[in-house]
């Protein structure tokens, strides 16, 4: 998992990039900030959308 930070302010939006290295499947999400809570919420949301195939 990579969080791409474009600016220095923690409250600015960031890009969350998830890459499965064997298949190169990639998910890119724009999230509202880089806090652990926001990242966790984004992962929970993705888990709900993808279902059982999300590990």
Q: Is the pLDDT of residue 37 over 90?
A: yes
Which of 5-9, 23-27, 31-35, 40-44 bottoms out in mean pLDDT, i.e. has the lowest? 5-9
Looking at per-residue pLDDT, the higher value among 41 and 21 belongs to 41
Which of 15-19, 27-31, 49-53 bottoms out in mean pLDDT, i.e. has the lowest? 49-53
Which percentage of the chain shows pLDDT scores above 90? 25
Task: Tell me which residue of 5, 16, 4 sits closest to 45, measured CA to CA.
Answer: 16
Total number of domains in the chain: 1
**CA distance linking residue 52 with residue 9, whole number of Å:** 35
**CA distance linking residue 11 with residue 21, whole number of Å:** 30
Q: List the domain range (segments joined by +) for residue 27.
A: 2-53
Q: Which residues contact 15 (CB under 8 A, 6 or more apart)?
A: 3, 4, 6, 28, 29, 30, 31
């Amino acid at each position: 998992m990579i969080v791409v930070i474009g600016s220095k302010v923690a409250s600015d939006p960031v890009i969350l990039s998830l890459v499965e290295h064997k298949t190169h499947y990639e998910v890119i999400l724009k999230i509202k900030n880089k806090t652990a809570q926001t990242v966790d919420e984004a992962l929970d949301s993705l888990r709900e959308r993808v279902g059982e195939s999300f590990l």
